[in-house]
Chains A and B, each alone.
Chain A
Amino acid sequence: MSDRVSAQARSEKYGQSEGDGIIRCDACPVLCRIRPGRSGACSRYANEDGQLVRTDPALALAQTLEAGRPVVAFAEGAWDGKLLDPGRAFVTGIGAGTTYPDYKPAPFIVGATHAGVDTVTVVTEGMFSYCGVKVKIDTDRHLGPEAAPVRAKGEQVGHVTTAEYGSQMLSLGGVRHLTGGSKKEGNVTCETLLALCAAEPVTLTIDGGHEVVVQAGQAPIVDGTPERRMRVGCGSATVGIFAQQWLGHADEVIVVDDHITGVLSEHQAGKVLGMRATGIRVRGRRSTPGRYFQVAAPGLGWGGTDITDPLAIIESIDPKLAWPGLRLLLTSTTGEDALWCVLDEQLRPIPAEMPKPVRTVVERIGENCEPSLCTVLFMAGAGGSLRAGVTENPVLLTRAVAAGEVRVTMGGAPVYLWPGGGITVMADVLRFPGNAFGHVPTPALVAPIEFTLPRALYQRLGGHMDEIVPVEELLRGLGEQLRVEGWMPGNPWPFAKP
């Protein structure tokens, strides 16, 4: 597992040790050799205890005309002369630094006028001991039993939680793994969370289950095989969606699914179409007509079962109902696996070449599947001392956030705010700018967080009014130390009216 965001990894990326504590910085062509405790010619990179560190304190996200593009792509010839102006800049918490303990005002409290409203953004990097990620893995394949430990480098970093519709959820991190276990468990958890938040691939193993490589925005890789498709629906749903299209081309269709296997002729959809009963009974427990649970054990085979020979799920064929020449389709919920059979005189299913009209519908199942992806949501509680950096009366901030009067963003990314007490938020790690996360040895993650609110409200909340700096002044003051990135497409501009 790579670890691009740790200080050491960054140091290794940009610098080479030259002995005597000197680091050669590769960040720009000057290739400064930097002694410990000193910075390079640019003052942006420094040698701190033998590691090359970025001294950048802040990241401003600029709302570019073409969102998502760097504000200045001039070197690539694409610069349109439209540059960062304070009215289009939002200062994020990335690199803002954190004031721990938080009884000091947050590193930046920015005043800006947006749409005629005098607005304040409190920008800080929060240290989150109570944080983790929720991972959604689009696959029906059995990754491991619910509640099973999930491990990285042998350490438990989380557990398998619910299976959602077409996806397996994992819950990783959290205070018990970060601080409640051994030191190694805490460090590996921190490292795993950081890598996942940086959208890097992480190899996880599940007790009693399988290995899965998880990377935000990429397909999961289960035991070395990349997953391709997220199922179109459960077996029953697949039957319902395609029943009409199979009618007249197949006498029976079995959609193999670990959760709910569908049997067309018996299913309500088949009944409505007036299909003749076939007497083919699948294994497992019948839930309702044509819908079967537990047809096999969970696994990496067809439809998230352990089945590789689909005929194995046929328990019996009733000779009173079935007939020679009966046309039977077996398919998975993604259409990746499919088998066409015709019953012979002894009513045994004999594999045969799939007719084109049937093949077309199987392909359409695949066509209707979305690409299988991993998604990673960072989740943390900002309800602790971090609030003291924002106001002198922290509960007022909590209440104002809950009331929707204060907009919370993380590195400019929109967050989902959990109802109820505290400030518990979730945000898609792919909507953060690069290198947004860091860590401290506690271990805890450091993540940017911004609170945006009208100035008058800030005053009412007991805000640190004396610390408010006009955005223009902040941009100017940070000057060369400011990193400017284009606004992430799809992220709402934080100053917009909620």
Chain B
Amino acid sequence: MIAQRLAGERLHLSHGPMDVVLRGWGAAHEVAAAELAAAARFATILQELVAELPTLRAAVGAETRLDGPVARRMLAGCLPFARQGVFVTAMAAVAGAVADEVLAAMRAAAPGLRRAYVNDGGDIAVFVAPGESLTLGMVADPAGSPARAGGCARGPVADFDGTLSLGHGMGIGGVATSGRHGRSFSLGIADAVTVLARDAATADAAATLIANAVDVESPAVRRRAARALDPDSDLGDRPVTVSLGPLDEAEIAAALDAGAARAEAWCRAGLIRGAALRLAGRARIAGASVPALPEHAA
């Protein structure tokens, strides 16, 4: 495991494919205790997950049984959507579940924290004490603009085009973003789907599944079987998006409508609090918690 301090008092923890960036606010001793607890908890998570990897990569159903605390958070995050008849594996919630678990460890070690977040690759668990608020930036297009020409750019630094202020009592403990630009495969073509939910595991699973639903049949969409790219993919032979050419306005609208229909249904069912969907410079909003987003043609 690697831990390092980033600018702005943030702590970066890394182990294998897992990276979290976290920060807590409060009395200095509380923050220090929270960071130590986070690092201690984080250190063993990967091994715990690997122990149950075959089950985690299988379709979630009523009969799925998992033992580890993070695995169970993953299952809990996915199960409501599996019950809606959607194919999902527990891996859809892995990042969010890790963030939830680390945040829980921080809060247990530092009950006086005023606010905190744990960001696992864009899937964020948040805590806000009464009277506090936390502002998050929202990403229009995770592929974004390259940070700078030449020089140091090794990964895109995304543009923010929306901000979200989370307060205590909003019932939002997780914010997750999914799309075809992330590390994971997407069955859909969304640039980004951001979901607000009670916890990060739920938000993560929902964002993945709504992004999968942002889809349209078009010659511009190139797909390949997930296993042809990653022999261990939990998506098996399902076709995942590998590239996307230019879409016309009707195709964009159709794809966003398909995703928005799923998002709105899940908002109404109380599974998520809200969602923002983006594709090719267009956006859709579902639920009440998400601010309106600017639109711009790609």
B-binding residues in A (CB < 8 A) = 22, 27-35, 38, 40-43, 57, 62, 71-72, 74-75, 79, 81, 83-86, 104-105, 107-109, 466-467, 469, 472-482, 484
A32-B232, A72-B2, A467-B151 known; A480-B43 Cβ under 8 A:
no
A109-B151, A477-B155 known; A40-B43 Cβ under 8 A:
no
* Number of inter-chain CB pairs below 8 Å: 111
A41-B17, A75-B43 known; A477-B2 Cβ under 8 A:
no
A28-B16, A28-B46, A42-B16 known; A71-B152 Cβ under 8 A:
no
Give A34 to B233 CA distance when docked, in angstroms: 10
A30-B50, A57-B154 known; A86-B3 Cβ under 8 A:
no
Give A43 to B17 CA distance when docked, in angstroms: 7
Contact: A22 with B17, CB < 8 Å?
no
* A62 partner residues in chain B, CB cutoff 8 A: 4
Contact: A482 with B230, CB < 8 Å?
no
A-binding residues in B (CB < 8 A) = 1-7, 11-12, 14-17, 19, 32, 35-36, 39-40, 43, 46-47, 50, 53, 147-148, 150-155, 157, 183, 228-232
* A34 partner residues in chain B, CB cutoff 8 A: 230
* B35 partner residues in chain A, CB cutoff 8 A: 81
Give A35 to B225 CA distance when docked, in angstroms: 13
Q: How far is the CB of A496 from chain B (nearest CB, A)?
A: 22
- B231 and chain A: residue at smallest CB distance: A33
- The contact of B50 among A29, A35, A472, by CB within 8 Å, is A29
Contact: A84 with B4, CB < 8 Å?
yes
Contact: A33 with B229, CB < 8 Å?
no
* B230 partner residues in chain A, CB cutoff 8 A: 32-35, 38
- The contact of B229 among A30, A31, A38, A85, by CB within 8 Å, is A38
Contact: B231 with A30, CB < 8 Å?
no
* B15 partner residues in chain A, CB cutoff 8 A: 28
7 tightest A-B contacts by CB? A28-B16, A83-B5, A41-B17, A42-B17, A84-B4, A472-B7, A72-B3
Of the A-B pairs whose beta carbons lie under 8 Å apart in the complex, a sample of 16, sorted by A's number, is A27-B16, A28-B16, A29-B16, A29-B47, A30-B16, A31-B50, A43-B183, A74-B1, A75-B43, A79-B3, A476-B7, A477-B152, A477-B155, A479-B6, A479-B19, A480-B14
Give A469 to B150 CA distance when docked, in angstroms: 11
Give A41 to B40 CA distance when docked, in angstroms: 22
Contact: A84 with B17, CB < 8 Å?
no
Q: How far is the CB of B63 from chain A (nearest CB, A)?
A: 25
- A484 and chain B: residue at smallest CB distance: B4
Q: How far is the CB of B97 from chain A (nearest CB, A)?
A: 15
A83-B3, A477-B152 known; A41-B16 Cβ under 8 A:
yes
* A475 partner residues in chain B, CB cutoff 8 A: 4, 6-7
* A482 partner residues in chain B, CB cutoff 8 A: 4
Give A81 to B40 CA distance when docked, in angstroms: 11
Give A32 to B32 CA distance when docked, in angstroms: 34
Contact: A105 with B151, CB < 8 Å?
yes
Q: How far is the CB of B102 from chain A (nearest CB, A)?
A: 14
Contact: B17 with A74, CB < 8 Å?
no
* A86 partner residues in chain B, CB cutoff 8 A: 7
- The contact of A30 among B39, B46, B183, by CB within 8 Å, is B46
* B1 partner residues in chain A, CB cutoff 8 A: 72, 74-75
- B7 and chain A: residue at smallest CB distance: A472
Q: Give the interface centre of A41, A472, A473, A478 by most chain B CB atoms within 10 Å.
A: A41
Give A28 to B45 CA distance when docked, in angstroms: 12
Contact: B4 with A83, CB < 8 Å?
yes
- The contact of B152 among A74, A75, A108, by CB within 8 Å, is A108
- B233 and chain A: residue at smallest CB distance: A33
A72-B2, A84-B4 known; A29-B46 Cβ under 8 A:
yes
A42-B17, A105-B151, A469-B151 are known; give 6 further A-B pairs, CB within 8 A. A33-B230, A74-B43, A81-B35, A86-B7, A476-B6, A482-B4
* A43 partner residues in chain B, CB cutoff 8 A: 17, 183
Give A42 to B232 CA distance when docked, in angstroms: 14
* B5 partner residues in chain A, CB cutoff 8 A: 83-85
Give A33 to B229 CA distance when docked, in angstroms: 10
Q: How far is the CB of B240 from chain A (nearest CB, A)?
A: 12
* A467 partner residues in chain B, CB cutoff 8 A: 150-151
* B50 partner residues in chain A, CB cutoff 8 A: 29-31
A75-B43, A469-B152, A484-B2 known; A477-B147 Cβ under 8 A:
yes
* A33 partner residues in chain B, CB cutoff 8 A: 230-232
Contact: A478 with B17, CB < 8 Å?
no
Contact: A81 with B36, CB < 8 Å?
yes
* B147 partner residues in chain A, CB cutoff 8 A: 477
* A85 partner residues in chain B, CB cutoff 8 A: 5, 7
